[in-house]
Amino acid sequence: MRAEPDVLDFEYMRHFSAAVAAWQRPERFLALHVGAGVCTMARHLVHAYPDSRHIAVDIDATLPELARQWWDLPRSPQLRIRAQDGLDAVASRHDASLDLLLRDAFSEALTPPSLADNAWWAHARRVLRGDGLVLANVGTVPGQATHVADAAAARAAFGDVVAVGEPAVLKGKRRGNVVLVAGAGFDVHDLRRYAASAPLPTVVDTAWAR
């Protein structure tokens, strides 16, 4: 993992960044990261949007704290790190209290079911402000259909949902990551322009996993 906050090594993180860039975001937005990991995405967004504020939660408190030792992570109030279950982190929030919600939590290759069902997505919709945005990293494995329920739950909560990923992954031919984009105030045409110039083949799909 590189130390520069403006460099993202993983393709799905570049999709995250492109979706935020295509979003009509508030000047000072508040983001919750479910699945903090080493806080790469939070660190990147603080660098790109210095007035933004971030809360990063992870069920494993060790890794984010190690990241504080490895890199110069932003401090509070720009970035606050908590040890917390991903469902509890969203369910315990007040209505309309977030501008941006990012989900990047995995159990092996897949999202934990408690973070990908109707209840989680309903909470995600409830805690967002009017023009808020949810970005969810979805792991896909050929022959398994767990992502279908995840995408269906997102649509049940938000209506239209956009998927961003490599064509073979979106078609279920190869294992990989798909980013779901849900919410208001983002420009799908901007996402398509990003996809057209992405380093790897990338597609923006408005009907994925139906």
Domains of the chain and CATH, by start = 11-205 (3.40.50.150)
Minimal CA–CA distance to 54: which of 8, 22, 11, 89?
A: 89
At 23-56, the pLDDT tens digits run 999 989 999 999 988 888 999 999 999 999 999 9
Residue 124 near residue 157 (C-beta atoms within 8 A): yes
Structure confidence at residue 2 (pLDDT): 47
Report which of 160, 154, 180 is spatially closest to residue 169, judged by C-alpha positions: 180
- The pTM assigned to this predicted structure is 0.94
Burial of residue 131 (number of CB atoms within 10 Å: 0-12, 13-18, 19+): middle
For residues 105-112, give the mean pLDDT.
86
* Measured distance CA(202)–CA(154) in Å, rounded: 21
Region at 102 (left for phi over 0; alpha for psi -120 to 50; beta for the rest): beta
The band of 60, judged by pLDDT with boundaries at 50, 70 and 90, is confident
Residue whose tokens read 């159990």: 107
How far apart CA 54 and CA 40 sit, in angstroms, is 12
Q: How far apart are alpha carbons 186 and 118 in whole angstroms?
A: 23
pLDDT value at position 66?
Answer: 75
Bridge partners for 110 per DSSP: 107
Residue 64 has pLDDT above 90, yes or no: no
Q: What CA–CA distances, in Å, run from 6 to 2, 22, 199?
A: 9, 17, 16
* pLDDT in the model for residue 145: 86
Q: How far apart are CA 141 and CA 168, in angstroms?
A: 11
What is the rounded distance in angstroms from the CA atom of residue 201 to the CA atom of residue 19? Answer: 17
- Give Rg (Cα) of the chain: 16
What is the pLDDT at residue 50? Answer: 95
Question: How far from the centroid of its chain's Cα atoms is residue 155's Cα?
Answer: 16
3-class SS at 89? Answer: helix
Q: What percent of the chain has pLDDT over 70?
A: 97
Beta bridge partners of 83: 58
Q: Classify burial at 210, counting beta carbons within 10 Å of its beta carbon; exposed 0-12, middle 13-18, buried 19 or more.
A: exposed
Q: Is 63 helix (H, G, I), strand (E, B) or coil?
A: helix
